[in-house]
Structure 1
Amino acid sequence: MPEPTLAGGVVPPVCTPLTPERELDVPSLERLVGFLLDAGVHGLFVTGSTGEVAYLPDSVRYRALEVVVSTAGGQVPVLAGIIDTTTPRVIEHAYAAKSHGANALVATAPFYAPTHLVEFPVHFRAIRAAVDLPLIGYDIPASVHSKLNAEVVAELAAEGVLDGLKDSSGDLDGLRAVLELVDTSTFTCFSGSETLADLGLFLGAHGLVPGIGNVDPEGYVRLYDAAKRQDWDAARTEQQRLRQLFKIIYVGDARMGRYSSAIGAFKEGLVTRGVIDHATTSLPMIPLNDTERAAVRAYLTDAELGPL
């Protein structure tokens, strides 16, 4: 059977369901994968930011990937986040991801260790040389505190080192610059924005990687399909609805950081929809309280997203 190809579309960054004891909740993860596939998504991105990759022990990272690959059964490509601080550590994750069945790898620039922009190409070249799988650069300055600029991306694309970009920078002009510099017939650009997805697609992005696509994958598939047929009014209408739903990430802002609030809200949304059993998040994230969980449920009601 040929491996699924990385062609774009809606590729949710899959949440990592955890038991109350913070072990991987395998049955919930299997249901989540089935739920996303039934909605018509075009790929699955495991151990990304929405998957709590920075918090997971390596054994949980690899088991989650194994479960997703097995459950997807080759229906769509599975992308594995190999995110870590420095090149040798990332390469170890790359070896493990390939051995557990990933179809493509997703890596950020190095972080924590002082790394200069001129060293970024060395980093990505070393990953690609070590493991010959499609490699997606992950531009997320809020987390790694460095920007993958368009010139570096284009250089690595021309060399065949990078096969795509996941742009979570929020910089639409930067995304436009990448799309102008690369060969878009061979290089796949994904927008990581939940609220600017329609604009990213209008600029020429090939796909979307929306965190709240875990909760409402059908909505992002509708948005993507509308954009593909160039029905920008329908895409904008769907985006406006999803933008309202995305406000669930703010339910815990009074007590916790935005990341804790967002991941907790995504998981609570999945519990409300009957997809996963628990909304447990990793330590030291603060869990949502009853008031905040009720607010999540109210947002889902407004979006006409009830239990399955």
Structure 2
Amino acid sequence: MTLPALLTGVIPPVCTPLTPDNEVDTASLRRLVDHLVDGGVTGLFVLGSTSEAAYLPDRHRETVVRTVVRHVAGQLPVLAGAIDMTTPRVLDHVRTAGAAGADGVVVTAPFYARTHPAEIARHYRLVAEHGGLPVFAYDIPVSVHTKLDADLVLDLAAEGVLAGLKDSSGDDGGLRRVLLGARARPDVSGFSVLTGSETTVDAALAMGADGVVPGLGNVDPHGYVRLYRHCRAGDWDLARAEQERLCALFRMVDVGAAERMGRGSSGIGAFKAALHLRGVIGCAVTAPPQVPLTAGEVERVGKHLAAAGLL
């Protein structure tokens, strides 16, 4: 389907279910998509951080996009992460995503080599010019070690280079600067600003964000849809209560022992364990070299689900 003029609502970054031998579990992926659609989400983002895109070989990335696009069959827009180190490599991913039927792509700044703002701007302009799909900037400095400058983002939006921003920077002040700048500039229109923070959605929407891309939305899409609807209706007490319930649920990302694994292993492992416990995916395995959760840690995930009314 064609992207709406302004992408809004709940657009979860879809987990990538894997088999025990690290192939894409397409049957589980289709069940997960059904779970998200049933939850009322407004779009899907595949091949992001929560999707373990950095761990997937190119053939797995293509399988994920094709599987989701075919299964959704035009019900919802599908964004695909085209995340790689340099412009030529990103363009390869964009072309693959376009051929698979994605409606737009999500692109970080270049990384590995240090980049200048002029190189970042050139990167996005070249991807937009040669990729043939709407481009959403992905601001995730913890992974690419570059914080996207608000004025640069707004200038690229005014040029028509960027269709939107997924802000996973954790910088609420920077997010507000983008929102205020977009509101103040008559040359910026149809530009979607989406927060990637699961725990401050109500605050971001109150500031004027258009939607949310929550990793925890894989586990509880209904909760994020309720939260979004409460905010849009101006029911801020209900929104705060729902946000606080989701904050408590989000604590599952810390079940993994810090001396044994990184936060990514713990967080993605917890999301997948929760989806497995809820009967959505067939296996909770994560891609190597991530460290798997222990049985006791999975049991703690189950307690978080039960406390949230999801088991």
Same fold per superposition (TM over 0.5): yes
Superposed, which structure 2 residues align to 1:247-286 within 5 Å?
247-254=251-258, 255-286=260-291
Residues in 2 aligned to 1:289 and 1:261: alpha-carbon distance in whole angstroms: 10
The offset of 1:132, in angstroms, is 2.2
Count residues with an aligned counterpart: 305
Residues in 2 aligned to 1:107 and 1:114: alpha-carbon distance in whole angstroms: 17
1:229 aligns with 2:233: yes
Structure 2 residue aligned with 1:39: 39
Shift of the 49–185 alpha-carbon distance from structure 1 to 2, 3 Å rule, reads same
1:296 aligns with 2:301: yes
The offset of 1:20, in angstroms, is 0.4
Superposed, which structure 2 residues align to 1:128-277 within 5 Å?
128-182=128-182, 185-254=189-258, 255-277=260-282
Residues in 1 aligned to 2:233 and 2:257: alpha-carbon distance in whole angstroms: 38
Instruction: Give the aligned residue type for 2:191.
Output: F
The offset of 1:121, in angstroms, is 0.5
% same residue? 55
SS at match of 1:54: helix
The answer as to whether partners of 1:4 and 1:75 remain within 8 angstroms in 2 is: no
Deviations 1:146-205 (A, max 9, x none): 000101001100000001000000111101110111257410000000101111111000
The answer as to whether partners of 2:158 and 2:189 remain within 8 angstroms in 1 is: no
Residues in 2 aligned to 1:127 and 1:177: alpha-carbon distance in whole angstroms: 25
The offset of 1:118, in angstroms, is 2.2
Task: State TM-score, norm by structure 1.
Answer: 0.97
Q: Which runs of 5+ in 2 are unaligned?
A: none
The offset of 1:4, in angstroms, is 4.5
The answer as to whether partners of 2:3 and 2:104 remain within 8 angstroms in 1 is: no
Q: Where in structure 1 do 4 or more consecutive aligned residues deviate above 3 Å?
A: none
The offset of 1:253, in angstroms, is 3.1
Structure 2 residue aligned with 1:69: 69
The answer as to whether partners of 1:111 and 1:144 remain within 8 angstroms in 2 is: yes
The answer as to whether partners of 1:32 and 1:275 remain within 8 angstroms in 2 is: yes
Residues in 2 aligned to 1:136 and 1:186: alpha-carbon distance in whole angstroms: 12
SS at match of 1:182: helix
Residues in 1 aligned to 2:113 and 2:3: alpha-carbon distance in whole angstroms: 35
Q: Which runs of 5+ in 1 are unaligned?
A: none
Residues in 2 aligned to 1:3 and 1:119: alpha-carbon distance in whole angstroms: 29
Superposed, which structure 2 residues align to 1:8-19 within 5 Å?
8-19=8-19
SS at match of 2:300: helix
Residues in 2 aligned to 1:202 and 1:224: alpha-carbon distance in whole angstroms: 10
Residues in 2 aligned to 1:154 and 1:3: alpha-carbon distance in whole angstroms: 23
Residues in 2 aligned to 1:20 and 1:133: alpha-carbon distance in whole angstroms: 34
Residues in 2 aligned to 1:145 and 1:198: alpha-carbon distance in whole angstroms: 27
Instruction: Give the aligned residue type for 1:186.
Output: G
Deviations 1:71-107 (A, max 9, x none): 1111110000000001110011011110000001100
Residues in 1 aligned to 2:147 and 2:2: alpha-carbon distance in whole angstroms: 32
